[in-house]
Structure formats: structure tokens, C-alpha cells
Amino acid sequence: MTASTLSEVAKLAGVSPATASRVLNGSARTPAPEIAERVRQAADTLGYIANAQAQALAKSSTGLIGLIVHDIADPYFSAIAQGVQAAARQERRMVLLATTNGTPAEEKEAVAAFAARRAESIVIAGSRSTRSEDARANTELAAELDRYCRNGGRVGVVGQAILGVAETANYRTIAVPNEQLARDLARALARTHKGPFVIVAGPEGLTTSDERVMGFQRGLSDAGQPAADVVHVAFNRNGGFDAGIELAWRIKASDRSGPDQQLCIFGTNDVMAIGVAAALRDQGLRVPHDASLAGFDDIEWLRDFRPALSTVSLPLEEIGRLATMAALSNDDDGGPAAVAGSVTLRRSTSSP
């Protein structure tokens, strides 16, 4: 069945195409109520479907939110995405998704693509990189966001501010206190664990991981414990598994005759800790019998993980919602916001 055109609707209603467009495409300039009703009845009679692009042009808004994450398969990002989607639904917006593999170069391309599609807001979730090889891409990402905001776009960022972008009314950051929460976790673990600590971290220069490493080391220092060894691997489950294989050999070679000899392993995110646990299990070792283990984020996967994993709990869906509302808000007094988290100790760090 051939779709009806705006001209056909206008002809049946006895008005000009411009008048019919103002009624059906949402223009602020609306004709008299009786004329508008006549146009709507004509559209219903002909089965006319409004053109979404025409409506966006008329309203100067597409109702689109662009969401940029490192990896939607990662439960950390999928939980944030759920919060973004909930807020978008509440505000009658639609969400477009881009995944970037964690590189600022791909984030810049995603911002440009969303800007070209006239997304009214963009939410960015993912760690910043201070690695030298990302310096140019960071500069280009900052310039792309600055151009987007100057043209009326609004941005909400989760975690750390984009390097080189100043906080403005159109750009808000929802800060995650990674360093302080990791410090709190280390203090809590050091109260009962007297053996050595090891941190399984992401690549150096990945800001989220670096903040958590720094905070954990400071927490150990506060408790009078020596600094932890740090193993740098990929910031994902496979990276955790690789580190776990390496640590399994260390555990097997050590004297495990007393609790002061047992390792306590801190994965700087939960999926890394899950990877570590899988590697230890593969090598015939058990948590917490042969090593204690903790993570960070409290992702939904932990509901089915055994033994229950000690971690830092973050309200991930709420973070996504807050970032979305910050990006949509016209309140110039809001400034940057921060979320709260809490240490949650479970079976994985209890006495064997």
C-alpha cells in the first residue's frame, strides 16, 4: 500500500502543505484549533504517517540520546545502559548506542556520528586514558565535544572528565570516587588479612584502574601493611584469567602453612576477579581456601558467583540515570555530581 503524502492530507483538509506540516510535524506555530482538527482528521482518513526527520527539523530536536560505552557485553556497561534507557524512556527519548573498545579515537568518531544525526544529548561511560599513544586522540575528542556543545548539544560523562574539556552548563560529569572506595576496601580487608596482597590491574594509563590501584595502596599503607604487588593485564575477564594463571604458580610455590602467608588478590573490576577465580580453579586452587579474592563494581553477574565475591558496590543503573538526566537538564546550577559506593565483604575474603 502506497503511503499517503503530506500534500494529499493538505488537499483533503483544504489547507496549504505548510499548514498541514505545522500541525503534523510539531511546529511551535500552530493554526487555529478547528483547522488543526481538520488536518488531523484528514491524516487519519488517509492513514498518513508523519516523517520523523521532518518532525525533528520542525522542532529543532530529534529526541535522540547517544550512548557511548567501551563494551556493551561487559555487565558494568550494560547496567549503566539500563539506567540510561530508563531515564530516556521517562523523558520520552530514544537511545542510540555506540561501542568503542575503550579508545578515545573511536569515542571521537561516535560523537561526530551522533552530532551528524542531531542527537540532542550524548552520554559517555568509560575510563579515560593518559597513555602517550592516546594523546592526539584525546585532543581530537575534546575538540569534537566542544564543537558539539557550542552547537547546543549536551553531554553527561560517567567517571572522569574528558581530558581537555571544561565543565560547562552543557557538559556535566558524574564522578565515581574510585580511589576513596578502593582505599576503604583495602582498610577493610587489612583488618582480618595478614598475608601479602596482590592487585590485578588494567594497563597503566587507564585512569579508572590507576585510581583504584592508588586508593588500594593507600588503604594498605593506612593499615600499616606493605604495598601490594601489581600485575598489569587487559582490563577484562581474559586479563584476569591470565593474571590468575601466573598467581596460581606463585601460590603453589609458596609456604601456605599459616594465614600470614596466604595471598589476598584484588581485581580492579569484578570481571577481572571472576577471571582470576576461573584460573585458580583451573589450576586446582580454591577461593578462599587457597587465596582470598575481591573485586570492584558489584555487577549483576555476582548473584550467581560462588563463593560470594567481596567487592565495592556501585549503583550502576542509578549512575546511568544520573548521567542521562545531567545531559538533558537545563539547570545551570547543578555542577558536577558524584555517586556513593560502599564496601561489601563476602565469603571470598573470609577465613578458610
Span 237-250, pLDDT tens digits: 999 999 999 999 99
**Contact call for residues 5 and 38 (beta carbons, < 8 A):** no
pLDDT in tens, 180-214: 999 999 999 999 998 999 999 999 999 999 999 99
Separation of alpha carbons 267 and 274, rounded Å: 8
pTM, two decimal places? 0.81
Per-residue model confidence (pLDDT) at position 53: 47
Q: Could you write out the DSSP letters of every residue in 229-277?
A: EEEE--SSHHHHHHHHHHHHHHHHHS--SSGGG-EEEEESSHHHHHHHH
pLDDT in tens, 300-330: 999 999 999 999 999 999 999 999 999 987 6
Q: Which of 318, 294, 341, 326 is nearest to 167 (CA)?
A: 326
Confidence of residue 50 (pLDDT cuts 50, 70, 90): low
Please state which of the ranges 256-260, 293-297, 313-317 shows the lowest mean pLDDT.
256-260
Confidence of residue 31 (pLDDT cuts 50, 70, 90): confident
